[in-house]
């Protein structure tokens, strides 16, 4: 098979870390090549080198067998390489069409002069249609899009470009399942048309179905490259982590106590209606549903980040009203949002500062922050979560999965009575997932009431004691083991839609 893009003996260090050491990877035309490894293994760094965004300390990049020196993503694009980065790179104050066309303009086939506005919209809309993007158009302002929609725009940008090489860094991690399967379909089509695709994902089941070959990195080094059919999922995990992982889920404790939190008839016009539930001390309550079912909206309202129109909430039997996240935290409610970049972390602050931000009063005396206490608490938390990277440096320098661990550390340090985890393991590798589940269980065992919002079916099946399913803003079923099954959850999750269709 024709070699499309390769990294040859590439090494790259950042202050204090060797991100890549002597790594090689050969991507062929007409293949989907998966790149997997634990958080911090070096996947995004390798991609960034192949995409021209980072220069290696040593080693070479070759396009179609010829050595090239990329000095910017623009140069890589002119060599036919289109990249969808893990952290999205759109201009929020431009519309979708401008974002799609801007970066492509110099390279769009035959487009020597600037595209007219009409042409730009046309090119963008074609790509959006191919992706089946329904709820926005080429004219929508990017600032008004959800993170899943922005992800689709990034993908549309690569499609519009028609590049022979497409690199995707966790493209499905924030996509609703329908869009994710549509994307996988397109990836297959592109592959069949001869495109070379490098595909980073933590979803090993997805890797199994989509990839032809897989390269596994561990601690910045090559472990192996294999045909996907020669590896079981267990073997992939073992190569990524360097150890056997027999249990993906820790055992649930059975000590469920008094009601800690109660929501009564929470309603917000256009978002959710009549949501009532309670969570007990030591209990893990799951919220399943499709992305967009209203789960995060409910949680944000409970946390005081949004308003609700009617209904009320109680903590330890007393009705409380919270008007801001600050008040919620003071009352004992903590929320770890799904979107770490927009709501969870201030990327320019150090990971230490991020971790204690929500609990500052506890670490201050007479208006001064107790530095030593902050250092020891955050160091302990960093160890507990297995954060790879320097906590004193801006969170920006951590890999995506390690940033997510810092968000979790922030929630754990806040000493809440009710702790809400919203998609806590998105972008987290399998080994670290287990550690996060173990932490959730440990907190529950200490008597914290826990809500787990998750779109990951195995997770929602195995971590919570009880699961509520939301669909289209309403509650559509509540399941306890042993009635809890994937079929039961899925059919409840789709129930609002099937009913609509039935009525039509």
Residues at the site binding ligand ATP, with contacts judged by CB under 6 A: 14, 17, 19, 37, 39-45, 86, 388-389, 397-402
Of 440, 435, 399, the C-alpha closest to 420 is 440
Is 374 or 407 the residue whose CB approaches Mg ion more closely?
Answer: 407
Is 274 or 348 the residue whose CB approaches ligand ATP more closely?
Answer: 348
Name the minimum Å distance from CB 36 to ligand ATP.
9
**37 touches Mg ion by CB under 5 A:** no
Is 98 or 399 the residue whose CB approaches Mg ion more closely?
Answer: 399
Q: Sheet containing 284-289: which strands, arranged edge to edge?
A: 333-336, 418-422, 449-453, 284-289, 466-471, 474-480
Name the minimum Å distance from CB 400 to Mg ion.
4
Name the minimum Å distance from CB 169 to Mg ion.
6
Q: Extract the tokens encoding 292.
A: 């967009």
397 contact choice in Mg ion, ligand ATP, none (CB below 5 to 8 Å, kind-dependent): ligand ATP
Name the minimum Å distance from CB 197 to ligand ATP.
17
Contact call for residues 306 and 298 (beta carbons, < 8 A): no
CA separation for the pair 383, 501 (Å, rounded): 50
Is 283 or 338 the residue whose CB approaches ligand ATP more closely?
Answer: 338
Name the minimum Å distance from CB 331 to Mg ion.
36
201 contact choice in Mg ion, ligand ATP, none (CB below 5 to 8 Å, kind-dependent): none
**Given candidates 20, 33, 42, 44, which one binds Mg ion under the rule CB under 5 A?**
44
Contact call for residues 314 and 321 (beta carbons, < 8 A): no
Continuous segment of H or E residues that includes residue 462:
helix 457-462
Name the minimum Å distance from CB 202 to Mg ion.
9
Of 61, 4, 65, 60, the C-alpha closest to 32 is 4
Helices (H), 303-370: 325-331, 351-356
Is 150 or 340 the residue whose CB approaches ligand ATP more closely?
Answer: 340
Give the per-residue SS3 of 37-94.
CCCCCCHHHHHHHHCCCCCCCEEEEEECCEEECCCCHHHHHHCCEEEECCCCCCCCCC
332 contact choice in Mg ion, ligand ATP, none (CB below 5 to 8 Å, kind-dependent): none
Name the minimum Å distance from CB 438 to ligand ATP.
19
Name the minimum Å distance from CB 168 to Mg ion.
12
Of 54, 66, 81, the C-alpha closest to 8 is 66
337 contact choice in Mg ion, ligand ATP, none (CB below 5 to 8 Å, kind-dependent): none
Name the minimum Å distance from CB 496 to Mg ion.
35
Is 41 or 489 the residue whose CB approaches ligand ATP more closely?
Answer: 41
Is 392 or 485 the residue whose CB approaches ligand ATP more closely?
Answer: 392
Is 171 or 477 the residue whose CB approaches ligand ATP more closely?
Answer: 171
Q: Which residue is nearest to ligand ATP (CB)?
A: 401
Contact call for residues 227 and 211 (beta carbons, < 8 A): no
Handedness of CA 67, 70, 76, 78 (dihedral sign): negative
Please report, as residue ranges, which positions from 395 to 454 form the binding site for Mg ion (by CB under 5 A): 399-400
406 contact choice in Mg ion, ligand ATP, none (CB below 5 to 8 Å, kind-dependent): none
Is 17 or 347 the residue whose CB approaches ligand ATP more closely?
Answer: 17
Is 429 or 472 the residue whose CB approaches Mg ion more closely?
Answer: 429
* Cis preceding linkage at 482, omega within 30: yes
Please report, as residue ranges, which positions from 134 to 193 form the binding site for Mg ion (by CB under 5 A): none
Q: Extract the tokens encoding 307.
A: 């308003």
Binding mask 51-90 for Mg ion (x = CB under 5 A): -----------------------------------x----
Name the minimum Å distance from CB 431 to ligand ATP.
11
Q: Extract the tokens encoding 82.
A: 């289109």
CA separation for the pair 373, 352 (Å, rounded): 11
Looking up tokens 């999205």, which residue turns up? 88
388 contact choice in Mg ion, ligand ATP, none (CB below 5 to 8 Å, kind-dependent): ligand ATP
Contact call for residues 352 and 378 (beta carbons, < 8 A): yes
10 Å CB burial of residue 435 (0-12, 13-18, 19+) is: middle
Name the minimum Å distance from CB 37 to ligand ATP.
5
Helices (H), 51-203: 73-78, 96-102, 117-131, 147-161, 177-192
Is 238 or 478 the residue whose CB approaches ligand ATP more closely?
Answer: 238
Q: Which residue is nearest to Mg ion (CB)?
A: 44
Chain contacts with Mg ion (rule: CB under 5 A) = 43-44, 86, 399-400
């Amino acid at each position: 098979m024709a070699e499309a893009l390769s990294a040859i003996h590439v090494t790259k260090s950042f202050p204090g870390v060797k991100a890549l050491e002597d790594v090689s990877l050969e991507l062929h035309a007409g293949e989907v090549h998966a790149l997997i490894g634990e958080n911090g293994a070096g996947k995004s760094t390798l991609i960034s080198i192949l995409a021209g965004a980072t220069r290696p300390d040593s080693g070479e990049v070759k396009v179609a067998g010829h050595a090239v020196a990329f000095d910017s993503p623009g140069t890589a694009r002119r060599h036919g390489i289109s990249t969808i980065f893990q952290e999205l790179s759109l201009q929020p104050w431009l519309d979708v069409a401008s974002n799609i066309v801007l970066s492509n303009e110099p390279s769009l086939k035959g487009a020597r002069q600037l595209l007219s506005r009409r042409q730009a919209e046309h090119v963008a809309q074609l790509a959006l249609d191919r992706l089946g993007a329904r709820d926005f158009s080429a004219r929508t302002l990017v600032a008004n899009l959800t993170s899943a929609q922005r992800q689709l725009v990034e993908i549309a940008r690569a499609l519009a470009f028609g590049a022979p090489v497409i690199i995707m860094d966790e493209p499905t991690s924030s996509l609703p399942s329908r869009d994710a399967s549509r994307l996988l379909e397109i990836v297959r089509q592109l592959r069949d048309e001869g495109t070379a695709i490098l595909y980073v994902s933590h979803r090993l089941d997805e890797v199994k179905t989509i990839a032809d070959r897989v390269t596994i990195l561990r601690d910045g080094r090559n472990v192996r490259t294999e045909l996907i059919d020669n590896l079981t999922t267990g073997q992939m995990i073992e190569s990524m982590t360097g150890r056997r992982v027999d249990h993906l889920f820790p055992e649930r404790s059975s000590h469920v106590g008094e009601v800690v939190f109660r929501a009564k008839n929470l309603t917000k016009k256009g978002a959710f209606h009549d949501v009532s539930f309670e969570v007990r001390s030591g209990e893990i309550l799951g919220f399943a549903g499709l992305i967009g079912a209203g789960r995060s909206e409910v949680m944000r309202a409970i946390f005081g980040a949004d308003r609700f129109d009617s209904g009320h909430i109680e903590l330890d039997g007393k009705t409380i009203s919270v008007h801001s996240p600050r008040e919620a935290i003071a009352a004992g409610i903590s929320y770890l949002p799904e979107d770490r970049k927009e709501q969870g972390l201030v990327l320019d602050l150090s990971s230490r500062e991020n971790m204690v931000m929500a609990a500052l009063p506890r670490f201050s005396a007479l208006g001064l922050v107790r530095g030593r206490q902050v250092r020891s608490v955050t160091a302990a938390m960093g160890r507990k979560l297995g954060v790879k990277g320097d906590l004193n440096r801006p969170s920006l320098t951590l890999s995506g999965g390690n940033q997510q661990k810092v968000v979790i550390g922030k929630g754990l340090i806040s000493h809440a009575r009710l702790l809400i985890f919203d998609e806590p393991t998105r972008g987290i590798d399998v080994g670290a997932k287990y550690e996060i589940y173990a932490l959730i269980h440990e907190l529950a065992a200490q008597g914290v009431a826990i809500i787990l919002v998750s779109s990951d079916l195995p997770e929602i099946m195995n971590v919570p004691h009880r699961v509520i399913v939301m669909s289209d803003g309403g509650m559509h079923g509540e399941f306890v083991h042993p009635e809890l099954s994937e079929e039961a959850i899925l059919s409840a999750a789709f129930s609002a839609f099937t009913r609509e269709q039935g009525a039509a």
